[in-house]
Amino acid sequence: MKILLMTIGSRGDVEPYIALGKALTQRGHYIDLCAAQRFKGLVEAHGLSHKPLSDDLFKLVEGGTFEKMGSLVSGVKTALRLMKLAKPINRQLIVDSIQAGLESEPELVIYHAKCLAAVSIAEKFGVPAVVLALQPMIVKTRSFPPAGIPNFGSIINRLSYHLINLGYRQYLSDLNAQREALLDLPPLEKDKGILSHSGGRPVSVLHAFSEHLVPRPLDWPNHSAITGYCQLTADNETYQPPQSLTDFLAVDKPTVYIGFGSMSGKDPERRPRLSLKRCKKRVYER
């Protein structure tokens, strides 16, 4: 089967798709992985075909904008500014995604929820579309709000998922324009075509994290499942940690690990300083 994997984001959004692509390849499927141009070498190093997306999103993230989200007021102002700056970038990502889909001609599309055109590509070829979600962000539940939103209780939690739909809705006219121009498809109605098929049938959602970390909510629909992580395994097991790290971990004291992922900005030393300050404060409070 020809499968198109589509993901938008940093390396943390790409590696799970590479892991899935490798596993599917081992089962005899042919994989195209659509991701930012900067990940071409990484994707191809793992034996997968790469379909490029614009790198412009990284220019926005690496400009230090997120460092201004220190308080609620500054956070809201920054979020609104980011939405404005991201609009032309997301328009281009819609075009790039569709071009990748037309080149791939897939029999199945598995996509990150930020890939706005994925369901339209699947509709063009009359094939299934499945979301592979790396965080609990898109399926409504009373148990918790979308990642990044405070928990205000069951009713507000469920209502807060409308914010995600509002975010998608702002790109509906852009998506419809490209559906007509590039895919020869009719326009979508409101709230359809990104997390559901154009007829309204919901897209199946696979959540690629552990149920031990996020138990499956009782009010999730049947088309949502938790699968466990998609993790790359080392091609060889020859890695040996440096002696200094081994000695540090051998000390009989609690160890704190702080991971920065793909965070970036103009002041890279600021985050470690803040993290260490917070850790020291927690130790003092105890």
What are the CA-CA distances from residue 117 to residues 123, 139, 195 (Å)?
A: 10, 19, 10
For residue 72, what pLDDT is reported?
Answer: 46
Q: What's the whole-number mean pLDDT along residues 282-286? A: 55
Collapsing DSSP states into helix, strand and coil, what is residue 43? helix
Percent of the chain surpassing pLDDT 70? 86
User: In whole angstroms, what is the distance from residue 12 CA to residue 269 CA?
Assistant: 21
Q: What's the whole-number mean pLDDT along residues 258-264? A: 69
Render pLDDT for 33-70 as a digit per residue (tens, 0 to 9): 999 999 999 999 999 999 999 999 887 776 555 555 45
Strand 108-111 relative to strand 224-226, pairing: unpaired
Contact 36, 55 (CB under 8 A): yes
Render pLDDT for 140-188 as a digit per residue (tens, 0 to 9): 999 998 877 888 888 888 998 888 888 888 899 999 999 999 999 999 9
User: In whole angstroms, what is the distance from residue 79 CA to residue 130 CA?
Assistant: 28
- The whole-model pTM stands at 0.83
**What's the token pair of residue 118?**
């994925």
Q: Which residue type occupies 54?
A: S
User: In whole angstroms, what is the distance from residue 257 CA to residue 248 CA?
Assistant: 12
Structure-token match 């020859």, residue found: 238
Q: Which residue has better confidence, 246 or 64?
A: 246
Render pLDDT for 199-231 as a digit per residue (tens, 0 to 9): 888 999 999 999 999 999 999 999 999 999 999
What is the overall mean pLDDT for the chain?
87
The domains located in the chain, with CATH, are 2-226 (3.40.50.2000), 243-285 (no CATH)
